[in-house]
Structure 1
Amino acid sequence: MTFRTTLLASAATLALAGAAMAEQTALVLFETKGMTTEPRREGMAVLDIDPASPDFGEVLVEYPLPTGTVGHHIFYNPDRTRAYVTSLGSPVLHVFDMTAQPYRRTEIAVPDCVVGEDVAFSPATGRWFLTCMGSSKVIVGDLATDEVEEVWDLPEPWPHGITVREDLGRILVTSTANPAVMGEYGDSVTELDLQTGEVVAVHSTRAAGAEAPSGPVEIFFVPHAEPPVAYVTNIPQGDLWIAEWDPGAEAFAFRQGFDFTALGQGMALEVYFDEENARAYVTTAAPGHVNAFDISDPRNPRHLGAVGTAPGAHHMTFSADGALAFVQNGLMNIDGLNDGSITVVDLAAMESVGSIDTFKEAGFTVNMIEGMPDDPRAHTH
C-alpha cells in the first residue's frame, strides 16, 4: 500500500517540499492500521493541509521511524528548533532537528522509560520532562544537551499528561491508565515541586458519587489566565475538570467543569486554545467529536457546541487564519478508535466540511497531527 503521493527525502523532493512550505503543511505520525497487521510501517509525514493548494491532502515528505517505535506525540522545544517524538513501544525519545533540510533524527536512550507519553519544558530551569506511563516515572533531561539528568519516581502510577508553571514553581502530572491492563485507570493529578520533583500534593479528579476511577489523561494551563487555571480531561469519566490556583492559600483546588457524557460523548482527550485565548477546543474519542468552549471566563468555560468527526478524535491543528481545524482521528491504534482520517472542521459554523483520507485509504492510522514549528498555534504543555 502506498500514499496517493509519497516522496522520499531527496534533493528533488526537498525542492518540491520547499515550494509547498509557502502554503501550509503539518506533521503527522502514522503507522500500519491494526496492532497485529504485518508487515508494519510507521513514520512522520509532512502533509499539505492548505485547501487552496493543488496538493491538498498529499504527503510531501516521509521520515521513516524504526518499526516498533509507535510514535505517539510531537512536542517542540521552546525555541522551536527541535521536535521531540515520544515512543509507546521502545525506551527511546526521538529528536528531529527542525533547522536541517531534510530534518535529522537522533535518539535519546531512556532505559527507565516504558511507554513514553508527554514532554513538557522549563526554559527557566533548562530542563525537559518526559512522562513514562508504563514505568511510572518522569525522566528529566537537559534542554541544551538532551542528556538525561534525573529519573523521578512518582507516588501515583501511570503518569501521562504533564504541564509546567514556572512562576508557581510547580509541575502537574496526571495518573492515567495501566498500559499493561486494559481498563485499569488512575484517579488523580500529582503536584510536584519544579526544582526538586518532591510531591507537594495529590488531587483527586473523581466525580462526586462515582464508583470508578476518573482516568485523567491530559492537563494544560490556560494561556495568560491569572490567577492560573488548568484544564484536565478524564478518559473513562468523560469530563473536563478545572484546577484553580488560590494565591492566598498557595494551593490548587480541583472541581468538575463539564460532563461530556450528558451529550452522549466519552473519552475526553485533548485541549487546544485559539490564538486569542477566547476559545478552547476539547476532543472526545467516542464516538468522535470536537467541542468548542467560550473561555472569556477561564474558570467557567461555556459550551458552545460540538462537531462529529470520526472514532478516535484526538489531536488537532489549525489553518493559518484559524478558521479551520484539522482533527486527527486515531487513539493508540485501538480497534474501533483508529479510523485514520483527518476531519476538516469549520470552526465558525461548527460543522465538518471535509476529510483527508490519505492515510486511511493506504491502510494506516494516524497517531498525531501537529503544526509546523512556525505555527503559533502548535500544541504545547
Structure 2
Amino acid sequence: MFVFRLLIRASLLYSSLLLLHACKKIEDPANKQQTLFFIDYRHLAGGSDGIAVMELDPESPDFGKILHKTELGKGVLPHHLYFNRDEKRLFTTALGGSYLYELKMEWNHEGYPVIYQVNPVNTGGNTVGEDIFFTRNGQYWVTFMGGKGGIRDGSVGVFNAQNNQLIKTISASVDEHPDKFIMYPHGISMYEDKGLAMVTSTIHPDLTSGLGNTCTLIDIHTFDIIKTYRVADSAKDLSSPVEVLLLRNEYPPYALANTMIGGDIWMAPYNAEAHQYGEFKRILKGATKGLGWALEFYIADDKLLYVSFGQPGKILVFDLNFLPELRQVRTLPADKGAHHMAFFKTKSGRSVVAVQNNLLNLPDLNAGTIDVVDINTGEKLGTVDMRNKYQLLPESIEGTLGKAHYMHH
C-alpha cells in the first residue's frame, strides 16, 4: 500500500512537472510571438498552395524559418489574410478553390500557431475573392473580382460574421447602370460612422479581358449603390485602381485610391452636405518619381501612411497632418512587386516593416522575397528569399497575434 501511494505521488509530481514544462515552453517564446507571421503562398513546384508561419525578426537565429505550413490545395492561390474585429478568427480570400476560407488556429507548446482546420465559406456563386472589411454590426464584406463569372462582372458579398452565412450579394451591371455599377471590385474600405463603403474597379480576373478606372460608393445600411466615380484622366484612361482607403478616426475624411497603371495616388474630399465624396483628383503621379504599380495603403502605429509601389519596388511614407497636401517624409527600399506590409518591433526594439514582394508572379513584379526594413532609418535588415529557398511565392502577410497595422483599408 505504501509503495502504491509513493507511485501515485510520483506520478502526480511527474504530471505537474510536465505541465509546468509545457507552460514554460509556451511562456518562454511569448516575447517573440509578435515576430511570427502568417504568409499566404503559391507553390512553384507543382505542390499545394497554403499558409506558412514564419519567423521574421532578423535578430532571431530562426529568421526566415518556416515553423508550420497548412496546405489549401493546388491552384487555390490564397490571396489576402484578415483577422476579424476582435482578432480571434482568421480568414483568407483566394483567387481559386472556394475563394474564401476561415482558418481555425491554436497555439502549440512550441510557441507558434498551428492552423488545424480549414473551412471553405459558401460564397453563393461569387468568384475570385479579394479584400475583406469587418464591420461593427457583425458583418463582413468581401469583394469578388469575378462576380458570377461574366466578362464585365463583379460583386460584393455581405456575410454574417458569426456563422459565415451570405446575407446579400451587391452587384450592378455597367451596361445597365453606367453611373452606379460594380465591376472587377478589388479594394474595399468603409467609413462606418458615415454609413459608407467604397470599392475599386481593377481588372478582370484573367488579367486580359478588361480593366477598370472607377471607384463605387455604397450605402452600408441599405446596400444601395450611391455613385460611381472616375479615377482617371478620361473614360479611355484605364488606370486600374487597386485599393481605396476612406480615412477615418482622427484623420480628415478624404478618400484615397491608388492605381496599377501609372502608379498614381488620387484623392477625393468628403462632402458632408451631400453625404458623399467629391470628385477624385490625382495628388501623386508615380511616373514623375520613377514609380509604377501603386498597390497598398497602410497606416502604422506611428500614424504615417505607407504606400507600396511594385515597380521598381519602393515604399513611400507620408505625413497625413498636412492634408489635402500629401507630404512625403521618406522612401524605404523593397524589391520588385512590393505589395503587402506588416509592422512590428524586433527583439532589440527597432520599429520595422516586413514587405512582401510579389504580385501574382507577374514579370518584374515577382521577386518572391520578404524584406524587413527599419522604418526610421530605411536600413534593410534582412531578406527572406522564399522563391529560391522554399520554391514558394509569398502572396500576402499578416501578424499571428492580430492585425499588424493601425489601419489598412
Q: TM-score higher than 0.5 here?
A: yes
Report the structure number with the largest CA radius of gyration.
Answer: 2
Correspondence for 1:112: 125
Residue 76 of structure 2 corresponds to residue 69 of structure 1: yes
Correspondence for 2:200: 174
Q: How far did residue 379 of structure 1 move?
A: 5.9
State the identity as a percent: 28
Q: How far did residue 133 of structure 1 move?
A: 0.4
Residue 380 of structure 2 corresponds to residue 352 of structure 1: yes
**For each residue in 1:263-295, what CA deviation from the matched residue of structure 2 results, as whole angstroms up to 9, or x when unmatched?**
111000001112131x11100111211111121
The letter of the residue matching 1:28 is I
**Superposed, which structure 2 residues align to 1:253-292 within 5 Å?**
253=278, 254-277=280-303, 279-292=304-317
Q: Is this contact kept in 1: 2:333–2:378, CA < 8 A?
A: no
Residue 141 of structure 2 corresponds to residue 129 of structure 1: yes
Correspondence for 2:31: 22
Q: Pick from 153, 157, 161 the counterpart of residue 143 of structure 1.
A: 161
Change (3 A) 1:343 1:181: closer
**For each residue in 1:41-86, what CA deviation from the matched residue of structure 2 results, as whole angstroms up to 9, or x when unmatched?**
3211111112222211111111111222100000111001111100
Moved >6 Å (runs of 4+): 13-18
Change (3 A) 1:336 1:257: same
Change (3 A) 1:179 1:48: same
Gaps of 5+ in 1: 1-12
Q: Is this contact kept in 2: 1:123–1:143, CA < 8 A?
A: no
Q: Pick from 42, 46, 50 the counterpart of residue 43 of structure 1.
A: 50
Q: How far did residue 92 of structure 1 move?
A: 3.4
2: CA distance, partners of 1:14 / 1:83:
24
The letter of the residue matching 1:118 is D
2: CA distance, partners of 1:39 / 1:378:
36
Q: Is this contact kept in 2: 1:225–1:298, CA < 8 A?
A: no
Correspondence for 1:3: none
**Superposed, which structure 2 residues align to 1:179-258 within 5 Å?**
179-182=205-208, 184-207=210-233, 211-253=236-278, 254-258=280-284
2: CA distance, partners of 1:256 / 1:91:
37
The letter of the residue matching 2:88 is T
Correspondence for 2:43: 32
1: CA distance, partners of 2:139 / 2:82:
14
Q: Is this contact kept in 1: 2:131–2:142, CA < 8 A?
A: yes
Residue 354 of structure 2 corresponds to residue 326 of structure 1: yes
Change (3 A) 1:294 1:90: same
Q: Which secondary structure state, in structure 2, belongs to the residue aligned with residue 177 of structure 1?
A: coil
Q: Is this contact kept in 2: 1:242–1:257, CA < 8 A?
A: yes
Correspondence for 2:99: 92
Change (3 A) 1:173 1:18: farther
Q: Which secondary structure state, in structure 2, belongs to the residue aligned with residue 40 of structure 1?
A: coil
Q: CA RMSD in A?
A: 2.5
Q: How far did residue 114 of structure 1 move?
A: 1.6
Higher mean C-alpha displacement, 170-179 vs 288-297? 288-297
Residue 170 of structure 2 corresponds to residue 152 of structure 1: yes
Residue 63 of structure 2 corresponds to residue 56 of structure 1: yes
Change (3 A) 1:230 1:360: farther
Q: How far did residue 250 of structure 1 move?
A: 2.1
Higher mean C-alpha displacement, 335-344 vs 79-88? 335-344
**For each residue in 1:142-185, what CA deviation from the matched residue of structure 2 results, as whole angstroms up to 9, or x when unmatched?**
01111111111132310110111111111101011112242731
2: CA distance, partners of 1:16 / 1:59:
19
Q: Is this contact kept in 2: 1:120–1:380, CA < 8 A?
A: no
Q: Number of residue pairs matched?
A: 363
Higher mean C-alpha displacement, 145-154 vs 95-104? 95-104
Q: How far did residue 329 of structure 1 move?
A: 0.5
Q: How far did residue 226 of structure 1 move?
A: 4.7
The letter of the residue matching 2:31 is A
Q: Which secondary structure state, in structure 1, belongs to the residue aligned with residue 361 of structure 2?
A: coil
Change (3 A) 1:63 1:70: same
Correspondence for 1:312: 337
Q: Which secondary structure state, in structure 2, belongs to the residue aligned with residue 296 of structure 1?
A: helix
The letter of the residue matching 1:149 is I
Q: Is this contact kept in 1: 2:311–2:364, CA < 8 A?
A: no
Change (3 A) 1:358 1:68: closer
Change (3 A) 1:223 1:170: closer
Change (3 A) 1:168 1:67: same
Q: Pick from 327, 343, 348 the counterpart of residue 371 of structure 2.
A: 343
TM-score scaled by structure 2? 0.82
Change (3 A) 1:92 1:106: same
Q: Is this contact kept in 2: 1:275–1:376, CA < 8 A?
A: no
